[in-house]
Every structure is written in structure tokens, then in C-alpha cells.
């Protein structure tokens, strides 16, 4: 039966399916789980599990490393300890606490989700129900429903794709991680430990994050190495995912300080990505006086773009500022929500003026 599923799922493109029967899958699950119980990192959302903690951690961990998330999670749980407190919070306070984590739509969606949850008579449990909430996609819905409610839903993300591609020496070439996760979904579901789906999923995530690393995987200490076809050849060669070429973008910004007031731009409430956040304004949106002087440039990458940020100093014709622009007293800079890089640039430049 299992072999049939595997064959159907992967269209015979994997090197070997032979030998995988119910017993071998059970052994795989047991080895994975005992390793997880013994070796897992003691993370706050795992040690004191709760639905709210699981949801918050899943939102924060999207595109972000555990080590970065840890201090944010601790602060968040102190400030907003449950759905009710979060639902009643001001959006600017929510964004302020998220400041530096990036991808701010996660904070806004988490805030909206809390507002929706507190209005419900009962807490949803199934993956399909969780998928209805803002910001909850296929991965987060499987993670939340399996970890908090033991729903039999397998998670698939880049880490899980990597593990399974190596276990089976998957020769397919994927257009991107999204395609790979989609194509691996049936296979990973057939390996799910139905007695303990939440811990099984967390064990796979932990294995991908700490042992089956993209570069130099630690096969010698891997709990599932005996089932892994790639371990003796070239594990790093799997999976094969075409990398998109990053687009080069240059953005010119203005740092203008006048009478201890800094000119900032606030993204409107309906902006798709950075709604409500302040940043250094773009040069092209302002009427400037004189010749701008380059203060510094910084490189950064956001999703598919390589961005070169050029920060200029110049005088502004401030009698007719375009909408969203305003002078903010430097004494109040700490209060306004700003993305991590902008905060760092602003603080560096202000300190140079003092």
C-alpha cells in the first residue's frame, strides 16, 4: 500500500523505493521521535506549550531564524500574553514590538487573527479552519492544527523538502521551494506518525534546522541516516531547486534633520507590505533645494530583490510636503514604528549629528 502511494506520488523518479514497508516507516518515525525527545532545543513555545504560543511562534518563525525570534517571543508573551490582550492592543504598539523582525504583514495578520479568535464561540481545530485566518498558509495551518490539536496534518517547508529529497535521492528539478513543497505533500503525509503528529512535525523541523543542514549535513549523528540514500554520496546535491536571479534595485533616500526634527514618511494603512511603518523618505518624492550629498550606501536583500539604499543629505522645500511625510521630533523617534534597517540608519546618522 505504502509503496503504491510512493510510486504514485513521485512518478518513479526517485532512485529506490524498494524496502519501504509499514515496518520501515514505523522505525523511521520511532527513531525520529526518540531523537527529538532527547536532543531537541528547549524553546519557550515547546516547553510551555499553548495554542497562543504555538500561533505566535509560527508567525514569528516564518522567514526568520529561531535565535532571532527568541527575544521577540519572550517580550511579546509578556506584553501580549493571550489572544484577548493582543486583540485589544493598538496596532502601533503591535508594530513597535515587532520592530526589527521584518515582514510586518505578519504582525498585522496576527493582530487581525487575535481579533477574530476572541469573537468566536469555539476555537477552530482543523487545518481547513485555520487556513481561513489572515496570514495562515498551508505550512502554518498544518503546524498549528497538528501541534495544538493533534490533527493528522504533515508540515512541508524547505527543511522538510530537503530531508525527504535526500532520503530518496530525489532527482527532480524544482522551479522553486513552492513547487517542491507542493509535490512533496503526499509523500510527507504518508510518513506522518498518526499517533503523534504534532511531535513528529516538530521533530522533522528540528532535524532540518539542526542536523540535515543545507550545507555540511551532520549525517553521522542523524537519527534517520540508516534510511537515507543520499548520506553516502552527496547529500548536499539534494534537492535541486532552480534559484531565481535577484533583481538589482537602487533606492535613493533623504536624511534631513532640522531643528531636532527628522523628516520621515509613514506608509498608509492600506499599503501592501509596510502599512503604518515610518522610514526615511525617497528622494524622488520630495522637492529638494541644492545638491544632495551622499552620506552612505547600504546593500540589503528583500525576497527577490538586491537593493542598494543610497542615503543623501539635502535641504527640503517643506512648505508643501507630499502626503504621508512629516517632521518627527528626535525625542519621539523611539516611539514610532520603523523597520530594523531604517531604525539602524536613523540612529547612526542622528548620533553623528550630536
| H or E, element range at 261 | strand 261-266
Nearer to ligand SF4, 31 or 285 (CB): 31
Whose Cβ is closer to ligand SF4: residue 221's or residue 347's?
A: 221
Site for ligand SF4 in 209-248 (CB under 6 A): 211-212, 217-219, 222, 224-225, 228, 230-231, 235
Query: Per the residue annotation, which of 58, 151, 153, 279 is the catalytic one?
Result: 58
Are the C-beta atoms of residues 281 and 251 closer than 8 Å to each other? no
User: How far apart, in Å, are the Cα atoms of 185 and each of 93, 111, 157, 180, 197?
Assistant: 38, 29, 10, 9, 15
Give one DSSP letter per residue of 287-303, joined into a string: -EEEEEEEEEEEEEEET
Count the neighbouring beta carbons within 10 Å of the beta carbon of residue 308: 13
Closest to ligand SF4 by CB, 32 vs 56, is: 32
Sequence-separated (6 or more) residues with CB below 8 Å from residue 119:
none
Q: Which of residues 290-309 bind ligand SF4 (CB under 6 A)?
A: none
Answer yes or no: 179 catalytic.
Answer: no
Q: Which of 56, 107, 144, 163 binds ligand SF4 (CB under 6 A)?
A: 163
Q: Minimum distance between the CB of residue 216 and ligand SF4, rounded to whole angstroms?
A: 10
For ligand SF4, how many residues bind (rule: CB under 6 A)?
A: 15
User: What's the min distance (Å) between Cβ of 220 and ligand SF4?
Assistant: 8
**Cβ distance to ligand SF4 smaller for residue 42 or 215:** 215
* SS3 assignment for 206-235: HHHHHCCCCCCCCHHHCCCHHHCCCCCCCH
| CA–centroid distance for 238 within its chain | 22
Q: Which is nearer to ligand SF4, 235 or 281 (CB)?
A: 235
Minimum CB distance to ligand SF4, residue 206 (Å): 12
Residue 160 makes contact with ligand SF4 by CB under 6 A? no
Q: Which string of DSSP letters, residue by residue, matches 105-145?
A: HHHHHHHHHHHHHHH-SS---SHHHHHTSTT--HHHHHHHH
**Sign (positive/negative) of CA torsion 43, 44, 45, 48?**
positive
Angle at 201 between CA 197 and CA 205, to 5 degrees: 170
What's the min distance (Å) between Cβ of 155 and ligand SF4?
16
Closest contact distance (angstroms) between CB of 161 and ligand SF4 is 12
Report cis status (omega within 30 of 0) of the bond before 117: no
- Considering the complex, what minimum distance in angstroms separates the CB of residue 236 from ligand SF4? 8
Residue 125 or 190: the one with the smaller Cβ distance to ligand SF4 is: 190
> 89 or 219: whose CB is closer to ligand SF4?
219
What x-and-dash track marks residues 164-203 binding ligand SF4 by CB under 6 A? --xx------------------------------------
CA distances from 99 to 89, 134, 292 (A): 15, 20, 29
Minimum distance between the CB of residue 188 and ligand SF4, rounded to whole angstroms?
Answer: 13
Burial of 320-339, coded b for 16+ CB within 10 Å and e otherwise, reads ebeeebbbbebeebeebbbb
Distances, alpha carbon 29 to alpha carbons 161, 190, 197, in Å: 16, 11, 10
Binding residues vs ligand SF4 (CB under 6 A): 163, 166-167, 211-212, 217-219, 222, 224-225, 228, 230-231, 235
The set of catalytic residues is 58
Amino acid at each position: 500500500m505504502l509503496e503504491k502511494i510512493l510510486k504514485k506520488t513521485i512518478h518513479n523518479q526517485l532512485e529506490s523505493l524498494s524496502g519501504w514497508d509499514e515496518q520501515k516507516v514505523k522505525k523511521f518515525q520511532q527513531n525520529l521521535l526518540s531523537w527529538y525527545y532527547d536532543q531537541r532545543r528547549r524553546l519557550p513555545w515547546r516547553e510551555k506549550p499553548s495554542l497562543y504560543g504555538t500561533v505566535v511562534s509560527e508567525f514569528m518563525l516564518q522567514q526568520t531564524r529561531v535565535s532571532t525570534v527568541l527575544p521577540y517571543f519572550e517580550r511579546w508573551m509578556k506584553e501580549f500574553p493571550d489572544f484577548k490582550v493582543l486583540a485589544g492592543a493598538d496596532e502601533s504598539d503591535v508594530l513597535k514590538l515587532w520592530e526589527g523582525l521584518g515582514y510586518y504583514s505578519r504582525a498585522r495578520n496576527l493582530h487581525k487573527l487575535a481579533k477574530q479568535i476572541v469573537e468566536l464561540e469555539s476555537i477552530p481545530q482543523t487545518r481547513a479552519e485555520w487556513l481561513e485566518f489572515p496570514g495562515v498558509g498551508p505550512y502554518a495551518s498544518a503546524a498549528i492544527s497538528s501541534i495544538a490539536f493533534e490533527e493528522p496534518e504533515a508540515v512541508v517547508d524547505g527543511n522538510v523538502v530537503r530531508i525527504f529529497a535526500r532520503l530518496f535521492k530525489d532527482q527532480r528539478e524544482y522551479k522553486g521551494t513552492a513547487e517542491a513543497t507542493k509535490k512533496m505533500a503526499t509523500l510527507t503525509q504518508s510518513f506522518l506518525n498518526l499517533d503523534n503528529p504534532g511531535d513528529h512535525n516538530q521533530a522533522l523541523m528540528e532535524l532540518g534546522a539542526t542536523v540535515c543542514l543545507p550545507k555540511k549535513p551532520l549525517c553521522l549523528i542523524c537519527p534517520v541516516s540508516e534510511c537515507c540514500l543520499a548520506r553516502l554520496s552527496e547529500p548536499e546535491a539534494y534537492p535541486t531547486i532552480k534559484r531565481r536571479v535577484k533583481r538589482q534595485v537602487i533606492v535613493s533616500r533623504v536624511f534631513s534633520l532640522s531643528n531636532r526634527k527628522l523628516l520621515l514618511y509613514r506608509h498608509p494603512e492600506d499599503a501592501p507590505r509596510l502599512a503604518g511603518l515610518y522610514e526615511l523618505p525617497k528622494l524622488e518624492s520630495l522637492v529638494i533645494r541644492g545638491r544632495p550629498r551622499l552620506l552612505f550606501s547600504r546593500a540589503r536583500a528583500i525576497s527577490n530583490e538586491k537593493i542598494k539604499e543610497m542615503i543623501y543629505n539635502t535641504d527640503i522645500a517643506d512648505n508643501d510636503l507630499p502626503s504621508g511625510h512629516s517632521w518627527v521630533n528626535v525625542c519621539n523617534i523611539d516611539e514610532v514604528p520603523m523597520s530594523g534597517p531604517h531604525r539602524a540608519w536613523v540612529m547612526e546618522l542622528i548620533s553623528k549629528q550630536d
